[in-house]
Amino acid sequence: MTEDNGRCGWCGTDPIYVAYHDDEWGVPEYDSRALWEKLILDGFQAGLSWITILKKRDNFRAAFNGFDPNDIATWGEAEVSRLLQDEGIIRHRGKIEATIGNAQAWQKIEQAQGFDRFLWDYVGGKPIQNSWTNLAEVPGYTPLSTQISKDLKKAGFQFCGPTIVYAAMQAMGLVNDHLVTCPAHMRVKTRAR
Provide the pLDDT confidence category of residue 191 given band limits of 50, 70 and 90.
confident
Q: What is the pLDDT of residues 34-80, one digit of tens each?
A: 999 999 999 999 999 999 999 999 999 999 999 999 999 999 999 99
| DSSP summary character for residue 24 | T
pTM over 0.75: yes
> At a CB cut-off of 8 Å and minimum separation 6, what does 81 contact?
none
- Phi-psi bin for 175: left (phi > 0), alpha (psi -120 to 50), beta? beta
User: Which residues lie across from 175 on neighbouring strands?
Assistant: 128
Q: Are 184 and 26 in contact (CB under 8 A)?
A: yes
Q: How far apart are CA 99 and CA 70, in angstroms?
A: 12
Helix, strand, coil % over all residues of the chain, rounded to 5: 60, 5, 35
Q: What is the pLDDT of residues 131-187, one digit of tens each?
A: 999 999 999 999 999 999 999 999 999 999 999 999 999 999 999 999 999 999 998
Among 89, 88, 110, smallest CA distance to 157 is for 110
